[in-house]
Amino acid sequence: MYPNASTARPAGHLCGGSPQDTGNKARYVARLRRMEGQAQGIARMFNREQYCLDILTQVSALSAALRSLGLGLVDDHMKYCVLGAVRQDPRTAETLLREVSEAIARLRCG
C-alpha cells in the first residue's frame, strides 16, 4: 500500500456521494472477483510450468483490468464524491482536486 493510503475517509472529509450510492459497488466487486480468478489462473500456469510468454500475456491482461477498474473508480469519485462535496462547500475544491491528481499519478506510476 502507499504510505498515504487509508481505508476510511480522513476526519472532516466531505464527500457528496459515493459509487456505492449508484449501485456501482456490485459491479466493482464482480470485476474484482473475476480478476481474482485471473490471478489464480496465473498461479496455476506457474505451477504447471507453462510457457513464460503465455504467463506474461495473462499478467498483462490482469494489469489492464486493474488499470481499467482504477480509472473507472477515479471517474466515479469525480462524479459523485468530488462534485457533491464541492457543491456542499466550494472551498474544498482545491484540496479534493489535489487528492484526485495524486491518485491519478499513483495509477500512472504504480
pLDDT of 2 strictly over 50: no
> Would you give the DSSP letter of residue 10?
P
Output 25 or 49, whichever has higher pLDDT. Answer: 49
Return the CA Rg of the chain.
Answer: 17
| pLDDT tens-place string over residues 39-48 | 999 999 999 9
Please tell me whether the overall predicted TM-score, pTM, comes out greater than 0.85 for this model. Answer: no
Contact call for residues 110 and 80 (beta carbons, < 8 A): no
Contact call for residues 21 and 80 (beta carbons, < 8 A): yes
* Angstrom distance (rounded) from CA 4 to CA 74: 17
* Angstrom distance (rounded) from CA 58 to CA 56: 5
- Report helix, strand or coil for 97: helix
In terms of Cα–Cα distance, which of 85, 106, 104 is closest to 13?
Answer: 85
Residue 17 CB: number of other CB atoms within 10 A? 17
pLDDT of 76 strictly over 70: yes
* pLDDT at residue 15 in the model: 54
Average pLDDT, the chain: 84
All cell numbers assigned to 51: 510457457
Quote the percentage of the chain above a pLDDT of 70.
79
Question: How does residue 65 score in pLDDT terms, banded at 50, 70 and 90?
Answer: very high
